Structure 1
Amino acid sequence: MANHVLLNNVEHKNLKVIQDFSLSPEASQMCVAAFPAEARHAQAHYPLVFAKDGDGKYQMVALLGLEQGENLFLDNHRWRASYRPLVIERGPFLIGRSTTDGQEKLSIYVDMNDPRVVNEESNHCVDVFLPHGGNSEYIDNIANVLSTLHESQATHAEFVKLLEANKLIESFVVDIELDGSGTSRLSGFYTINEDVLKSLHSDALGELHQKGFLSTIYMMLASMSQLRTLVTLKKERA
């Protein structure tokens, strides 16, 4: 069970985080949430599609594998791509609200029960705070990641709302040949309907462009070429 506590440089002055991605909750997931803010970087490595969450709402995701429980980007403790999705990059941290002097503000919380969180030197670990109590470069980066994730929630919701209003989301199925080891079927995901996109009225296209979503749409379409990357990684693993 998670144990989220407010991060501070007094109680957690010796805190370290092991950079072992095999210890993360995403180690055995075939996809993770992704957001428009990272689409430009993510599309160079992962297919970006939509999945439905437990409430039946669309969530953009980065595909990490071709079947449930498969993460082809995990190689022992290392991540096999130069860009990691924000939800991977954040590690054992999350953003939450805290109250200081009666003022509510957003703060960083850490899961003390996460196996990556340690107080002693370990292989592949980084310091959260500097010896004199200042922030390490690592935690400064985490703060930026968490801030982007927080701001991305509303943007993502608006993105999906506009796509649905213009009927731009469609389901797809892909059968992938795996060199004599059978065929893998990828289903249960959704992508951009290119035919509908081509027929959109200029007003709808203008709204998508004005809000910065048109470029995200094209990033998602371009990212589908990364299915070949997943196939290559799967064949290498086989």
Structure 2
Amino acid sequence: MARHVQLNNVDHANLRIRTERGEAFGDAVMSCPVFPRELRNVQAHYPIIFTKDPNLACFRPLALFGFEEGENLFLKGDVWDAPYVPLAMRMRPFLIGFSSVEGEGEGRRAEAHIDLDHPRVSETDGVRIFMEHGGHSPYLKEMLGILAEAHDGEQSIAGFSAMLEEFSLIEPFTLDITLNDGTTGRLSGYYTIAEEALYGLDASALGRLQAAGNLQPIYMAVASLSQFRSLIDRRNARLET
């Protein structure tokens, strides 16, 4: 069970983070959320599909690592077999939390939180979060940068999704798979970019998408679909081991 608390250099002075990869550290997942600004990096290695976020009522992009729950075909023991690991996987066990801001312009302030029950958290093994006298370690500075990127990316999801819906650029998606041993399967319940609608957009629509910074991520999501072949190849390779 997750135990999220605000990170501080008093209560968490001695905490360390295990940075190796592996099933024991929560890496055996079928997919993870990704953000529009990182889709250029994501599409070079993973298929990008979309899910409907029930909390935000919007479409959220995902990087696909496998074809069933708990399957990560990029995980080989303690190695992640791809040059780019999505932000949502790299930031664990840290996450973005919020606190209320009182006074003029009341609102919420983003903060660095940590899941104390995450298997990466340790008091004996791994890299230090804080230096001996309480300063941020180089590792924590890197993680705070990743959290800032993820926070900015999260702010863009609603607008990105709204434009996909406005221009009818999202459609349901089903993929039927046949493996080398004859096993069949189906990936369904997700969405992809509606390519026919995309290629039919007029100059005005394309200009609006470009001005909003959403045109490149859309094309990156389309380009990523070629990675399904390599993902199936990875699944077939596991059948042979």
The structural deviation recorded for 1:116 is: 1.3
Task: Give the equivalent residue in structure 2 for 1:126.
Answer: 127
**Counterparts of 1:15-34 in structure 2 under 5 Å?**
15-21=15-21, 22-25=23-26, 27-34=27-34
**1:6 corresponds to 2:6:** yes
Match of 1:111 among 109, 115, 125: 115
Structure 2 counterpart of 1:53, which letter?
D
In the TM superposition, residue 180 of structure 1 has moved relative to its aligned partner by 2.4
The answer to whether the 8 A contact 1:24-1:91 is kept is no
In structure 2, give the amino acid aligned to 1:7: L
The aligned length equals 234
Q: Deviations over 1:59-94 (max 9, x none)?
A: 110101022331112222332212111110111111
Question: How much does 1:168 deviate?
Answer: 0.7
Corresponding residue for residue 37 of structure 2? 37
* Equivalent AA in structure 1 for residue 186 of structure 2: R
Is residue 2:236 matched to residue 1:232?
no
> CA 1:7–1:100 in structure 2 vs 1: closer, same or farther (change >3 Å)?
farther
Residues of 2 paired with 1:30 and 1:99: CA distance? Answer: 34
Q: Pairwise mapping of residues 176-187 of structure 1 onto structure 2 (< 5 A)?
A: 176-187=177-188
Contact 2:58 2:162 in 1 (8 A): no
CA distance in structure 2 between the partners assigned to 1:41 and 1:94 by the alignment: 21
The unaligned stretches of length 5 or more in structure 1 are none
Letter matched to residue 121 of structure 2: V
Contact 1:19 1:77 survives alignment (8 Å): no
- The AA in structure 2 aligned to 1:126 is V
Q: Report the alpha carbon displacement of residue 99 of structure 1 after superposing the two structures with TM.
A: 7.0
2:64 maps to which residue? 63
Q: Which TM-score applies when normalising by structure 1?
A: 0.89
Question: For 1:149-202, what per-residue CA distance to the aligned partner results, in whole angstroms no more than 9, with x for missing partners?
Answer: 212222111011001011011122222231123223222221111111111121
Give me the TM-score of the superposition, normalised by structure 2.
0.88
Q: Deviations over 1:102-159 (max 9, x none)?
A: 8974321111111211111x3xx22212234321221111111111221222211101
Mark the runs of 5 or more structure 2 residues left unpaired by the alignment: none
Q: Which moved more, 1:150-159 or 1:5-14?
A: 5-14
Quote the RMSD (CA, aligned, Å). 2.2
3-state SS in 1 of match to 2:198: helix
- Residue type of the partner of 1:200? L
Residue 138 of structure 1 is matched in structure 2 by: 139
Judge conservation of contact 2:210–2:216 (CA < 8 Å) in 1. Answer: yes
Does structure 2 conserve the Cα–Cα contact (< 8 Å) formed by 1:20 and 1:77? yes
Which residue of structure 1 aligns with residue 52 of structure 2? Answer: 52
In structure 1, what residue type is equivalent to 2:18?
Answer: I
Task: Identify the range of structure 1 (91-100 vs 209-218) with the bigger mean alpha-carbon deviation.
Answer: 91-100
Distance 1:6 1:188 in 2: 35
Aligned-pair distance for 1:98?
4.3
Separation in structure 1 between the aligned mates of residue 102 and residue 141 of structure 2, nearest angstrom: 24
8 Å CA contact 1:43, 1:222 repeated in 2: yes
1:192 correspondence with 2:197? no
